[in-house]
Homo-oligomer: A and B are copies of this chain.
Amino acid sequence: MTLITGQIERMVKMEYKILNNIKGPEDVKKLSGEQLTDLAAEIREALFNRTTKIGGHFGPNFGAVELTIALHYVFESPKDQFVFDVAHQTYPHKMLTGRASAYIDDAHFGDVCGFTHPKESEHDMFYIGHTSTSVSLATGLAKGRDVSGKKGNVVAIIGDGSLSGGEALEGLDYAGEMNTNLIIVVNDNEQSIAENHGGLYKNLEQLRKSGGKCELNLFKAMGLDYRYVEEGNNVETLIKAFSEVKDIDHPTVVHVHTQKGKGYAPAEKDKEEWHYAIPFNRETGEKVSFGDGESYGDIFASYMLDKIEKDKSVVCMTAAIPGVAGLYPDVRARMGENYVDVGIAEEHAVAMSSGIAKNGGKPVFVTNATFAQRVYDQVTQDVGLNSSAATIVLFSSSIFGMGDATHIGISAMGMFTNIPGIVYLSPTNREEFMAMLDYSIEQNDHPTIIAVPCDGVNPAKYEVAKDYSDIGKYQVCEKGSKVAVLALGDFFNIGSEVASKISEKSGEKTTLINPRYASCVDTALLDELCKDHDVFVTLEDGILEGGFGQKIASYLGGRDKKVLNYGFEKRFYDGISSQKVLEMNRVTPELICEDVAKAL
């Protein structure tokens, strides 16, 4: 039995006869109907080639193969402009725009990133990685086209999951009053990363069931024209639909029903599991194991489950990415009503958490640091100003494990530590993370943000406090003199090494501090340390500007002390390894020790 379904079955030994000859979209237009079908099979084969070996977004790409072929067949990119939402479904698009080798030739895997990127191709309009932006970006392209006298179609391609995001809904609403060409393809595969959440998905179901004919229609209610395509994995049908809207003189939605993971039985069956795939065995569907070490996702999920079983006022919240926090289907099921997935709607999640806290609930909203960029205002106004005891847990606020520039979380401290009323905690190890999380949930005085460590799950080397209500009090782990190392969060271990090296070299003990509160300056401690310290070294896993260390430099600015801040220069680190970034910024024990020696 093979797990590969449908047409692709016969293509296992692939020569990419068609794909190899596609240098750009113009070559797609030359193909016959049968060749287009074969092209779809070759694209899926190429997707297998890459994803089995190095992983990648799986379901979104397998589901969008025919859609992408039809778009390039009908429209004329780059004169006609495509904006793919999230852009994690653009592997087929890349194959049809001169980048097929990155999928069929292992030696060229490194040629492309996982999203659209203007530096890769003129067919990629924007560098995109966050959800729900495509419609707004497309309205802008349309307006820019019109005011500068250009021609061409503008096409946004947005998945159903992304529709729950405020930016997408704002974009749809604004598009509804435009009087110009704009095509919004809604790629409805009935799934977000996990299951969809939100009332609008009932309407999408009604639309699918009625073949787009039911009167109740979210898109029309937003002022948009609308048409429906049931066979979203049929190239011919799609070509017909897109041909009908090409050069249209007003905004329209083309609602296309596709199948996520189409062409691979395990992915068709378990859409969440196969949204993103790590390398796997194609025949068995088995994924390559990365070892079975404990992860902070597991620690978080297990802690929360236990907590909820004991206290029904605890609410565990996610905005459509439960998997990053270990909230797999079985965990969610056990949490029951105490688990809330708001869909891709981070703003709503934070405001809702404020309301929960105000009525005696204990909300814990968990997300990735990069997506928390959506909630600056909500953290300030809905939560901070109202002193709501909400807990926000940030994963991946770190240089470790970094990938594309779209998903790096190293801005989190600069973003949140300067908002009044917010206590931003940076645990340095497993026990401290759990203690801080527990403290935050149980207190009722202030909102807390907790940055999950990203340097692996390390045990505590120093005593871990249970109570963090003495806001801003740093922990002195080693008391020495002359040099004090303030090593924040998951850079504590680097700081510890720095302190040891300095002590070794100088023969004098170096002070080592775990600041714990990234948002606070422990002025009493610093005043005390000033008596017998000359150099203060700060380390933080984030962009220096706006972060922790600069607060220390400013506080000590008027004294005869030296402050050396280590973190990252402000820039978009794109496709650079963590190690490289650390070296570029002199964040290695050796280089820091060199600098300290000079400063002394």
Contacts and interface: CB of A to CB of B under 8 A. Distances in A.
Interface of A: 81, 83, 118, 125-130, 133, 136-148, 150, 164-167, 169-177, 197-203, 215-218, 220-224, 312-315, 337-338, 340, 342-343, 345, 347-348, 351-361, 363, 373-374, 376-378, 380-382, 384-386, 405-406, 411, 414-415, 417-421, 543-547, 549-551, 553-554, 556-560, 562-565, 570-572, 595, 599
A545 B553 contact: no
Contacts of A415: 376, 415, 418
A545 B337 contact: no
Given A167-B351, A546-B546, A556-B557, 11 more contacts: A126-B382, A140-B355, A143-B359, A170-B348, A176-B199, A203-B220, A376-B415, A415-B415, A550-B550, A553-B563, A557-B565
A544 to B, nearest CB: 7
- Kindly name the residue among A200, A373, A554, A563 whose own CB sees the greatest number of chain B CB atoms within 10 A: A554
A441 to B, nearest CB: 13
Given A313-B148, A359-B144, A554-B550, A354 B137 contact: yes
13 contacts: A81-B359, A126-B358, A133-B351, A140-B353, A165-B166, A167-B347, A176-B200, A200-B221, A203-B220, A218-B218, A418-B545, A421-B572, A560-B562
A348 B384 CA distance: 24
Contacts of A406: 381, 385
A174 B148 contact: no
A202 B225 CA distance: 13
Contact of A374 (B348, B377, B417): B377
A144 B360 contact: yes
Contacts of A354: 126, 137, 140
A358 B551 CA distance: 37
Nearest to A548: B545
Contacts of A405: 385
Contacts of A351: 133, 136-137, 140, 167, 171
A278 to B, nearest CB: 25
- Kindly name the residue among A170, A201, A222, A345 whose own CB sees the greatest number of chain B CB atoms within 10 A: A170
A159 to B, nearest CB: 15
Contacts of A340: 143
Given A136-B348, A173-B200, A351-B171, A148 B361 contact: yes
A294 to B, nearest CB: 29
B224 A130 contact: no
A296 to B, nearest CB: 24
A146 B374 CA distance: 27
B572 A384 contact: yes
Nearest to A129: B381
A558 B564 contact: yes
A588 B201 CA distance: 57
B173 A202 contact: no
Contacts of A197: 174, 177
Contact of A543 (B126, B170, B385, B418): B418
A552 B141 CA distance: 39
A118 B351 CA distance: 16
A524 to B, nearest CB: 16
Contacts of A418: 411, 414-415, 543, 545-547, 570
Contacts of A562: 557-560
Contact of A175 (B139, B171, B199): B199
A549 B216 CA distance: 55
A352 B218 CA distance: 22
A321 to B, nearest CB: 15
A562 to B, nearest CB: 5
Contacts of A374: 376-377
Contact of A385 (B127, B139, B199, B554): B127
B147 A315 contact: yes
Contact of A198 (B128, B174, B560): B174
Contact of A169 (B170, B359, B363): B170
- Kindly name the residue among A221, A314, A544 whose own CB sees the greatest number of chain B CB atoms within 10 A: A221
A110 B198 CA distance: 43
Contact of A150 (B127, B216, B359, B595): B359
Contacts of A382: 126, 133, 136-137
Given A355-B136, A418-B546, A545-B418, A173 B147 contact: no
B128 A355 contact: no
A546 B551 CA distance: 8
Contact of A355 (B130, B138, B347): B138
A136 B171 CA distance: 19
Contacts of A172: 199
A197 to B, nearest CB: 6
A354 to B, nearest CB: 6
